[in-house]
Structure 1
Amino acid sequence: MEAHALTIRLTNKVEFPFLVLLISGGHCLLALARGVSDFLLLGKSLDIAPGDMLDKVARRLSLIRHPECSAMSGGKAIEHLAKQGNRFHFDISPPMQHAKNCDFSFSGLQHVIDKIITQKEKEEGIEKGQILSSAADIAAAVQHTTACHVAKRTHRAILFCKQRDLLCQSNAVLVVSGGVASNLYIRRALEIVADATQCTLLCPPPKLCTDNGIMIAWNGIERLRAGLGILHDVEGIRYEPKCPLGVDISKEVGEAAIKVPRLKMKI
């Protein structure tokens, strides 16, 4: 996760501090990067990651059997098909609307979409595994709801950081990294937030968002330059499969209960 956060500094001259939104198939979090190994965790997914959820929806819609989507990953198939759909055909509320924090949740949204698909299969008289006539509308709805959810939590994170003087009041940088960052619809929603909060939105090239080798190597260079975590003796090193990122202040963010102004998502 640290490598994801720092990758933007490989391609852009970005000074600390900056806000990081990591959205991928395995992670979803918001953190303030104050240094190479100095992070404040503002919020994270309480269940599954957005990329995982989009992949599961694509599988439930059997998009691998769709002639236009058969060679695409689940997330890419959703993004492609959504262009042909009506995002307002299904009325789906974004998750956690009343929780004034920066945490995320996507499992409930997946459950709602699954119920919609099941109902539509009954209405159309088709079996599970066949393509629904409303597949594009469902793809558009889940993508739009995901974008709105991610955008609102990110908006609150920016407001919190500026309120606490953790970010510059103007020209602050929002970095969006991870595989889901390549979704142009979600990126556009984040651009709307960035414009409204006088932030600059930066995204690493898609290749760098998914190439773990490059990211880890760059993370090592950053640490070497900063003289952080350089070990000459690896005996006694303890490995952790899941290492927390920085200091978790998500409870403090929730206690601030910042109300987010409504933005028009004209995407």
Structure 2
Amino acid sequence: MLCLGIETSCDETALALVDKGKLIGESIASQIDIHSIFGGIVPEIASREHLRTLVPLFDDLLQKCGVETKDIDLIAVARGPGLLGSLLVGLGFAKGLALALDKPLVGVNHLYAHLLAAGLEQEIEFPSLGLLVSGGHTHIYFIRSPFDFELLGKTLDDAAGEAFDKVAKFLNLPYPGGVYIDRFAQEADPDPGLFPRPYVDNDNLDFSFSGLKTAVANFLKKNDHLVLKSMDEVAPGFTPGLELAAVCASFNWTIAETLKIKLSRALKRVKPRSIILAGGVAANTLIRQTIEDLCQKENLPLVLPSKKLCTDNGAMIAYYGEILGVAGLKHGLDLEAIPRGKKIPWDYIKD
């Protein structure tokens, strides 16, 4: 089943074709350079860029893959969570194609697609314990199958990715700042006592990184010499001072340890056959290593997507969309976009 995946939930416009669980091709347009001017994503600009680039990307994808529109069997689209304006652009494009080509339409939960994305590269053993770490979400799921996700713990305020971006902004690092914190952190050893591990003195599986963000902000007020005078300082070949590198390493370590504590706690409640690490922050070097060490200790296989599948992409939408389509699940043209903060219903129509 040749499935077209459409991803426009945030600031990446991405399209991909998947057939029988294999990636045929993908096209993607990043908006990083545009939003970096503002130090973060501007929703109105993001939706306009999706509108501008979707059709050219679609034409490019078909040409690269040697595919015609009539060859597409199923159209999958990210319905949420995400920026509402951005989601609506992708949803409108998907509905138009489905109507014009008389093809079935399936809406995909963006978070579930992230968790299953590694299935494009390796087999996932179910049930699995999934840790999703991104800019907007830090969630733990017990995944019994691609059709059965149980949310065990969730973000209560700031997600891990948001904390990375905010701390990078405090330090006057370029956007997106998480990659710079990760790189600088490798230049020094962390001080485990520098920042508190947030929201771990409890017995639940939820996350809260707002307190950590505040702790870093207060530290930098007392040590403002660590804040770069200009983002332009971070040019190719830039090496941070040892003190700045140590701050980044300590912050990085604190987030990684917090994730490990909560995931270890979840393993005492459920018995998975594998652990999945997914989402944009799953590309972080220390977080990947920390969760890999935990899996070795627990004698569980780690399902870790390649870094290109950690960030938002069309391949994960097409892959999960095909799984849903093969199972006979679809949506009508009344499919709605679901913004961040609202629960996505399991409202598929059984074909």
TM-score range, shorter chain: 0.7 to 0.9
Corresponding position of 1:137: 246
How far did 1:176 drift?
Answer: 0.4
Corresponding position of 1:11: 121
Matches within 5 A, 1:245-264: none
Query: Residues 274 and 301 of structure 2 are in contact (CA less than 8 Å); yes or no, is this contact kept in structure 1?
Result: yes
- Secondary structure, counterpart of 1:221 in structure 2: helix
Q: How many equivalent residue pairs?
A: 226
Give the direction of change, closer, same or farther, for the CA distance of 1:127–1:178 in structure 2 (3 Å limit).
closer
Q: Does 1:34 align with 2:144?
A: yes
Distance 2:113 2:253 in 1: 28
Corresponding position of 1:256: none
Corresponding position of 1:244: 343
**1:183 pairs with one of 280, 284, 308:** 284
> TM-score if structure 1 supplies the norm length?
0.77
**Structure 1 stretch 12-21 or stretch 131-140: which is displaced more?**
131-140
Moved over 4 A (4+): 130-133
How far did 1:161 drift?
Answer: 0.4
Corresponding position of 1:155: 264
The one-letter code of the counterpart of 1:107 is S
Give the direction of change, closer, same or farther, for the CA distance of 1:127–1:5 in structure 2 (3 Å limit).
closer
**1:20 pairs with one of 114, 130, 136:** 130
How far did 1:238 drift?
Answer: 3.8
How far did 1:226 drift?
Answer: 1.8
How far did 1:112 drift?
Answer: 0.1
Corresponding position of 1:48: 158
**Which structure is larger by alpha-carbon Rg, 1 or 2?**
2
**What's the RMSD between the two structures over aligned residues?**
2.3
Query: Residues 220 and 227 of structure 2 are in contact (CA less than 8 Å); yes or no, is this contact kept in structure 1?
Result: no
**1:88 pairs with one of 191, 199, 218:** 191
Query: Residues 170 and 227 of structure 2 are in contact (CA less than 8 Å); yes or no, is this contact kept in structure 1?
Result: no
Give the direction of change, closer, same or farther, for the CA distance of 1:158–1:89 in structure 2 (3 Å limit).
closer
Distance 2:189 2:277 in 1: 26
Distance 2:184 2:213 in 1: 17
Structure 1 spans left out of the alignment, 5+ residues = 65-71, 248-267
> Whose strand proportion is higher, 1 or 2?
2
Query: Residues 179 and 209 of structure 1 are in contact (CA less than 8 Å); yes or no, is this contact kept in structure 2?
Result: yes
Give the direction of change, closer, same or farther, for the CA distance of 1:245–1:19 in structure 2 (3 Å limit).
farther
> TM-score if structure 2 supplies the norm length?
0.60
Give the direction of change, closer, same or farther, for the CA distance of 1:37–1:246 in structure 2 (3 Å limit).
farther
**Structure 1 stretch 72-81 or stretch 135-144: which is displaced more?**
72-81
The one-letter code of the counterpart of 1:79 is D
Query: Residues 18 and 175 of structure 1 are in contact (CA less than 8 Å); yes or no, is this contact kept in structure 2?
Result: yes
Distance 2:344 2:294 in 1: 24
The one-letter code of the counterpart of 1:53 is A
Corresponding position of 1:203: 304
Give the direction of change, closer, same or farther, for the CA distance of 1:127–1:217 in structure 2 (3 Å limit).
closer
Query: Residues 126 and 274 of structure 2 are in contact (CA less than 8 Å); yes or no, is this contact kept in structure 1?
Result: no
Corresponding position of 1:258: none
The one-letter code of the counterpart of 1:244 is K
Query: Residues 58 and 78 of structure 1 are in contact (CA less than 8 Å); yes or no, is this contact kept in structure 2?
Result: yes
Structure 2 spans left out of the alignment, 5+ residues = 1-110, 234-239, 347-351
Query: Residues 39 and 245 of structure 1 are in contact (CA less than 8 Å); yes or no, is this contact kept in structure 2?
Result: no
Q: Does 1:194 align with 2:266?
A: no
